[in-house]
């Protein structure tokens, strides 16, 4: 008979050291399936592969996106120090964004008839939609004075559902596309522009209702808008890392520029932690190493389970962040990657998911890694509801790992608790996962900043559309 392999808990050999904290975020890795010796080996691997050195090169502005010969400087977007790369340009763009947001909120910038802006339609897809959506859903007010709507897919049903309830004279349209050539975004922009025209908003009146976010300096001109309606981004900011840039404009308007600045400050605080923390206390490095090990051990999926309504849409942002960055089979040098790269990322609201797919996690014939996430302080006044919610989160963290340690299948669980979901804490959480992802790129030996498969899909879609039009 084949001897069963044991899947020990880290907490059994790493007692008292499995809980780490930074920036108001606490992770408990004690339910991961490895020993202290294994973890020590992972720290050594990180040193051998130069993970922290690679992270420092990224933050300093060196060329790390080698296939596109660009730096990846999303961290510079939240660094206010004068020594930060592109400090002048970033500061000017941020001030432009925040000043505009304040103008809209105060009524200084208004609709063509003098109406206050009450709704924003964000037209964008991928990183131009998922980051802003995650921020908006997490931080939106119970009764917002400005509502934010997301038009991403080229789907007429979605279009109709959004515009049917809006007054065009009280609506601001934000067209976000780094290339200003993304097909879904441009066809949606044309449809919304027609909606404005049908309402009688023509000529210079459109200037009061539409702005563009793009790396293309003639993007405003392409939309027959003045240059003042352009909010720039840079080619050294990847879409899935871009919420800190002008891509976050709709959030700054809907939530307020100070909220947006706090979001950036929280992300920068996590950047500082990653740069300065000792290896064994570095939250991003620890999460990256555990994900690397789980992938190599054949754990093909990673499940993000927030026990907080405000974090529900982070699942989709995280899905794009990790899977678009790490779904690669070719190494930086062009060779075939020898190891398993990345995991399939999925999830849902934790409490709801207990009554949906937890059965599969608990007793199914597969192993998964899991992040259970909750906030210690509620974002509401309903103490009884919060008590039940957090009790479920903490109970399920244990329930998901109750299998026999010699079972063929086992789950590896990390809990992530946030003291309070402020804009700064949200920024820190999102930056934590960004650093985890880029560090995994170094561990796997791949470029986490390009997306050749996505670009191929765009090319084939254009070809298919041309064929469809011809018939």
Say how far apart CA 112 and CA 317 lie, in whole Å. Answer: 34
Which of 3, 48, 88, 355 is an active site residue?
355
Say how far apart CA 237 and CA 244 lie, in whole Å. Answer: 9
Of 394, 411, 393, 415, nearest in space to 402 by CA: 411
Under DSSP, the state recorded for 311 is G
Say how far apart CA 410 and CA 393 lie, in whole Å. Answer: 19
According to DSSP H, which parts of 107-225 are helical?
127-139, 156-163, 183-198, 219-222
Say how far apart CA 241 and CA 340 lie, in whole Å. Answer: 23
458 is known as an active-site residue: yes
Burial class (CB in 10 A: 0-12, 13-18, 19+), 355: exposed
Burial class (CB in 10 A: 0-12, 13-18, 19+), 387: exposed
CB 301 within 8 A of CB 343: yes
CB 127 within 8 A of CB 239: yes
Say how far apart CA 92 and CA 464 lie, in whole Å. Answer: 41
Which of 20, 49, 96, 458 is an active site residue?
458
Which of 324, 328, 386, 436 is an active site residue?
324
Strand partners for 65: 70
Burial class (CB in 10 A: 0-12, 13-18, 19+), 417: buried
Of 73, 74, 52, nearest in space to 61 by CA: 73
Residue with tokens 């991403």: 152
Instruction: Just list the catalytic residues.
Output: 324, 355, 458
């Amino acid at each position: 008979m084949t001897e069963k392999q044991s899947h020990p808990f880290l907490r059994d050999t790493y007692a008292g050291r499995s809980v780490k904290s930074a920036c108001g975020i606490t992770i408990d890795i004690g339910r991961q399936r490895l020993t202290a010796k294994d973890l020590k080996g992972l720290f050594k691997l990180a040193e051998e592969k130069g993970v922290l050195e690679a992270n420092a090169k990224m933050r300093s502005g060196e060329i790390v996106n080698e296939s596109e010969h660009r730096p990846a400087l999303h961290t510079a977007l939240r660094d206010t120090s004068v020594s930060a790369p592109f400090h002048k340009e970033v500061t000017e763009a941020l001030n432009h964004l925040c000043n505009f947001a304040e103008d809209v909120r105060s009524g200084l910038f208004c609709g063509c008839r003098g109406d206050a802006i009450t709704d924003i339609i964000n037209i964008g897809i991928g990183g131009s939609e998922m980051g802003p959506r995650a921020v908006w859903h997490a931080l939106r007010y119970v009764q917002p004075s400005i509502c934010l709507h997301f038009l991403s897919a080229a789907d007429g049903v979605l279009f109709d559902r959004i515009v049917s309830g809006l007054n065009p004279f009280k609506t601001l349209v934000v067209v976000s596309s780094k290339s200003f050539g993304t097909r879904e975004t441009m066809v949606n922009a044309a449809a919304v522009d027609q909606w404005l025209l049908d309402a009688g908003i023509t000529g210079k009146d459109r200037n009061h209702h539409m702005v563009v976010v793009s790396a293309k300096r003639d993007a405003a001109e392409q939309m027959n808008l003045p240059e003042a309606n352009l909010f720039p981004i840079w080619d050294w900011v990847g879409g899935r890392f871009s919420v800190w840039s002008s891509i976050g404009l709709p959030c700054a308007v809907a939530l307020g520029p100070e909220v947006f600045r706090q979001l950036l400050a929280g992300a920068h605080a996590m950047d500082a932690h990653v740069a300065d923390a000792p290896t064994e206390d570095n939250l991003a490095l620890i999460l990256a190493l555990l994900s690397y090990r789980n992938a190599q051990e054949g754990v093909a999926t990673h499940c993000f389970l927030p026990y907080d309504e405000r974090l529900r849409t982070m699942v989709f942002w995280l899905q794009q962040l990790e899977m678009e960055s790490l779904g690669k089979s070719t190494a930086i040098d062009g060779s075939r990657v020898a190891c398993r790269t990345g995991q399939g990322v999925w999830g849902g609201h934790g409490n709801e998911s207990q009554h949906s797919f937890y059965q599969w996690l608990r007793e199914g014939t597969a192993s998964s890694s899991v992040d259970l996430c909750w906030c210690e302080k509620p974002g509401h006044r309903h103490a009884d509801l919060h008590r039940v919610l957090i009790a479920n989160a903490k109970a399920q963290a244990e329930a998901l790992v109750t299998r026999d340690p010699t079972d063929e299948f086992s789950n590896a669980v990390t809990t992530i608790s946030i003291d309070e979901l402020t804009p700064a804490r949200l920024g820190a959480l999102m930056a934590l996962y960004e650093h985890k992802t880029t560090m995994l790129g170094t561990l796997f030996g791949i470029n986490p900043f390009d997306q050749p498969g996505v670009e191929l899909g765009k090319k084939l879609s254009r070809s298919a559309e041309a064929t469809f039009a011809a018939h």
